[in-house]
Structure 1
Amino acid sequence: MKIKQNFTSVVHPQSNGLVEVTNRTIVKGIKRRLTQAGGSWADELQNVLWSYRTTIHTSTQETPFSLVYGMEAVIPIELTMLTERTSSMNELKEGENVKSIQTHLDLLDEKRANALIRQEAYKCMTERFYNKRVQGRACKVGEMVLRKTEASGQESGGKLGPNWEGP
């Protein structure tokens, strides 16, 4: 039994929740940085965005940076301190480096396709986990049920208004 529940915001019908999840993650990161360092959130935003873009996401097993550019990011500290990765990059001649970058870019579509497959597998796994604990309930004609206020088209009363209407 598959249960699919869709809610669409009247204001932004194109959103599917991904933007909200990303923003929630970024806001959590900013709050953590502000409690540690104090100060303005705008000063910490670049660091939080960098950490978000270079962290491996569970659903794709890739970083957003690598899905855009085809290779992992070199963090600024690696430019000043030699690590194994940056020292091997320094040993490459310029022609070999360009060839290496071109190879990464050629394989980018395949990398994105693999990430999409992993993301779909992750969604299926999450759906199975959710559906294990869901108890189905059939509604009969004439039963009283709650209805989402957005679906009815009535004014909901703003942010503090009720989300549901019914008996």
Structure 2
Amino acid sequence: MRLGKAKGNCIEEIPTVLWSYRTTPRTRTRETPFSLTYGAEATLLTEVMIGTLRTSHADEEANSRVLRLNLDIFDEMQEKASICQAAYKRATERYYSQRVKEKAFKVGEYVLRKNEASRAQP
């Protein structure tokens, strides 16, 4: 992890770590938190500084049109992310449910339980 290498400078590294988290697609939604919040993908600072193909061939007018289009479909993008998240949750539930072994207990059977569980909660 990046903060592990920073040792005493972790305060200076927090913005970088948060930016990378916000611009990395999540498994559940297949979108970045940044795009779900602002309706557009972020351009990374390194892309601007180095001058990648994406930034060197950028057209301001075309970019404005695409941003307006993205705002028009923003609600749909959030809905799609919500559907993906629900599907991911169902798949996770199915995965764990397949490994659960059901056991029915009868009255009078002895069962082993943790000591903390038998104590009354105040």
- What aligned pairs does 1:8-47 form with structure 2 within 5 A after superposition? 32-47=1-16
Identity %: 44
1:26-82 Cα deviation digits (max 9, x unpaired): xxxxxx223323223221111111111111111111111111111111111112222
Contact 2:40-2:70 within 8 A present in 1 as well: yes
1:18 paired residue number:
none
Contact 1:145-1:166 within 8 A present in 2 as well: no
Query: Residues of 2 paired with 1:64 and 1:72: CA distance?
Result: 10
Matched, 1:92 2:60: yes
- Can you give the 5+ residue segments of structure 1 that lack an aligned partner in the other structure? 1-31, 148-161
Matched, 1:166 2:118: yes
TM-score, scaled to structure 2: 0.81
The 4+ residue runs of structure 1 with deviation greater than 3 A are 139-147
| Structure with greater proportional helix content | 2
Matched, 1:66 2:66: no
Instruction: Report the residue type matching 1:113 in the other structure.
Output: E
2:72 paired residue number:
106
How many corresponding residue pairs?
Answer: 118
- If asked which structure has higher relative contact order (CA below 8 Å, sep 6+), I would say 2
1:95-120 Cα deviation digits (max 9, x unpaired): x4332211111111111111111111
- Can you give the 5+ residue segments of structure 2 that lack an aligned partner in the other structure? none
Contact 2:22-2:34 within 8 A present in 1 as well: yes
Structure 1 residue 141: deviation in Å? 5.5
Which of 106, 123, 129 does residue 89 from structure 2 map onto?
Answer: 123
Instruction: Report the residue type matching 2:47 in the other structure.
Output: E
Structure 1 residue 145: deviation in Å? 7.7
Structure 1 residue 140: deviation in Å? 4.5
SS in 2 for 1:129: helix
Instruction: Report the residue type matching 1:80 in the other structure.
Output: M
Instruction: Report the residue type matching 2:12 in the other structure.
Output: D
Instruction: Report the residue type matching 1:38 in the other structure.
Output: K
Relative to structure 1, the CA distance from residue 145 to residue 108 in structure 2 (aligned partners, 3 Å threshold; closer, same or farther) is farther
Structure 1 residue 126: deviation in Å? 0.7
